[in-house]
């Protein structure tokens, strides 16, 4: 089980990653599933018309061709769907419709048909097997069981049923092996892409968001806060006399202080807060749902917590600027700039303190 479904072992521990992976698969496989559905619909139409050349069927041609409409609708719907569950549901529905068609066409025992028509199922059924273990199991079960009514009601000989079983056993074993190796490759690709994205948006030293990513996420968060008409505050922190620490005790001591500072920031944040490393020894926190007095309290708690970090020459201190967003039109950049200005004022006032920004003029 572990060998055949390697991604299962790696995914189960992190539900977010699992959700992200199934969306990734749906994005990667969506266009292929749509194309295979269209091809299967076309192949079904061709098979029905071609079967007329072999022998007339007791089921009217129009009734057999009617299935083309739902098949086409399902294929068209798949083009606009990116949700993994819906996508695999549509693909399995397509397999089911094809099976109805195959069984309808087999009424009247058309010679040779039992070996040809089930072949229509395989492309669409095999297209969903990458999506998940259950999609795989259902698709294989549909492939194996779907054509059985045609064989049993059509009074196939025991030799024909034996041939069918061998044919299905080979098809399902092959799909299982292919799925195992493809799933491993797809998961590895997904993992590497995710790792690259994370590396590009987080700071290697502190693990905090880099400036661009902080602004990007902050912009989205600020939009949500404005829509809900809630307050929000930006804190801008800058470590004091950091150059002196580097110059006197080396960059390793400076790096250790930055890591400790980031750990304090993380320990003081609540769910929904955003923390970013904006520059060398500058950090920003976006606190949604927090007004100015509450932000002043949070800032003061932070300032005191940072003082517990000891550098070789004394406690590490920070200057903090706080800006509250009261204007729904204020951008994340403007809010950050006001918090930065307030932080500079804190530096001018003697450092190791908090200064609140003036409100912007609302015209």
Ligand X SMILES: Nc1nc2c(ncn2[C@@H]2O[C@H](COP(=O)(O)OP(=O)(O)OP(=O)(O)O)[C@@H](O)[C@H]2O)c(=O)[nH]1
Site for ligand X, rule CB under 6 A = 205, 238-244, 246, 251, 254-255, 258, 280-281, 347, 351
Which lies closer to ligand X via its Cβ, residue 192 or residue 205?
Answer: 205
Euclidean distance between the first and final Cα of the chain, in Å? 66
Shortest Cβ distance from residue 239 to ligand X (Å)? Answer: 6
Which lies closer to ligand X via its Cβ, residue 185 or residue 244?
Answer: 244
Ordered DSSP codes for 286-337 = EEET--HHHHHHHHHHHHHHHHTSEETTEE--EEEEEEEE--TT--HHHHHH
Shortest Cβ distance from residue 314 to ligand X (Å)? Answer: 13
Q: Is the dihedral of CA 220, 222, 226, 230 positive or negative?
A: positive
**What values do phi and psi take at 230, rounded to 5?**
-105, 160
Shortest Cβ distance from residue 212 to ligand X (Å)? Answer: 17
Which lies closer to ligand X via its Cβ, residue 279 or residue 293?
Answer: 279
Ramachandran quadrant class, 241 (left: phi over 0; alpha: psi -120 to 50; beta: rest): left
The b/e string for 265-280 (b: 16+ C-beta within 10 A; e otherwise) is: beebbeeebbbbbbee
Shortest Cβ distance from residue 277 to ligand X (Å)? Answer: 9
Q: How many residues does the chain have?
A: 363
Q: Helix 292-307 vs helix 251-268: angle between axes, to the nearest 10 degrees?
A: 140
Q: Is the dihedral of CA 44, 49, 54, 60 positive or negative?
A: positive
Shortest Cβ distance from residue 322 to ligand X (Å)? Answer: 17
Shortest Cβ distance from residue 308 to ligand X (Å)? Answer: 19
Which lies closer to ligand X via its Cβ, residue 221 or residue 320?
Answer: 320
Shortest Cβ distance from residue 285 to ligand X (Å)? Answer: 18
Which lies closer to ligand X via its Cβ, residue 31 or residue 314?
Answer: 314
How far is C-alpha 319 from the geometric centre of its chain's CA atoms?
38
Which lies closer to ligand X via its Cβ, residue 95 or residue 278?
Answer: 278
**What values do phi and psi take at 333, rounded to 5?**
-65, -40
Which lies closer to ligand X via its Cβ, residue 18 or residue 347?
Answer: 347
Residue 232 · residue 325 · CB < 8 Å: yes
Which lies closer to ligand X via its Cβ, residue 90 or residue 208?
Answer: 208
Can you name the residues that pair with 274 across neighbouring β-strands? Answer: 286
Shortest Cβ distance from residue 337 to ligand X (Å)? Answer: 17
Shortest Cβ distance from residue 346 to ligand X (Å)? Answer: 10
Which lies closer to ligand X via its Cβ, residue 52 or residue 205?
Answer: 205
Distance CA(334)–CA(105), nearest Å, equals 68
Distance CA(353)–CA(321), nearest Å, equals 9
């Amino acid at each position: 089980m572990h060998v055949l479904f390697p991604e299962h072992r790696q995914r189960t521990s992190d539900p977010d990653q699992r959700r992200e992976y199934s969306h990734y698969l749906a994005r990667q496989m969506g266009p292929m599933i749509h194309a295979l559905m269209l091809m299967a619909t076309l192949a079904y139409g061709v098979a029905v018309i071609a079967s007329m050349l072999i022998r007339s069927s007791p089921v009217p041609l129009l009734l057999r061709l009617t299935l083309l409409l739902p098949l086409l609708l399902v294929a068209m719907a798949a083009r606009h769907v990116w949700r993994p569950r819906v996508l695999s549901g549509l693909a399995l529905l397509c397999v089911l419709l094809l099976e109805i068609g195959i069984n309808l066409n087999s009424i009247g025992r058309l010679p040779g048909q039992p070996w040809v028509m089930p072949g229509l199922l395989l492309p669409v059924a095999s297209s969903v097997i990458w999506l998940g273990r259950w999609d795989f199991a259902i698709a294989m079960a549909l492939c194996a069981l779907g054509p059985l009514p045609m064989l049993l009601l059509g009074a196939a000989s025991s030799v024909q049923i034996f041939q069918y079983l061998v044919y299905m056993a080979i098809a399902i074993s092959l799909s299982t092996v292919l799925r195992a190796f493809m799933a491993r490759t797809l998961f590895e690709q997904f993992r590497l892409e995710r790792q690259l994205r994370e590396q590009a948006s987080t700071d290697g030293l502190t693990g905090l968001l880099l400036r661009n990513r902080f602004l990007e996420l902050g912009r989205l968060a600020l939009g949500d806060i404005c829509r809900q008409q809630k307050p929000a505050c930006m804190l801008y922190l800058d470590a004091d006399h950091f150059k002196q620490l580097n110059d006197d005790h080396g960059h390793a001591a400076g790096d250790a202080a930055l890591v400790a500072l980031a750990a304090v920031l993380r320990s003081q944040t609540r769910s929904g807060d955003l923390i970013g490393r904006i520059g060398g020894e500058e950090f920003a926190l976006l606190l949604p749902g927090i007004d100015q007095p509450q932000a002043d309290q949070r800032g003061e708690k932070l300032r005191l917590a940072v003082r517990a970090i000891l550098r070789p020459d004394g406690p590490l201190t920070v200057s903090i600027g706080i800006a509250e967003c009261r204007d729904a039109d204020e951008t994340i950049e403007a809010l950050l700039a006001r918090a930065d200005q307030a932080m500079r004022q804190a530096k001018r006032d003697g450092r190791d303190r908090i200064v609140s920004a003036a409100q912007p003029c609302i015209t």
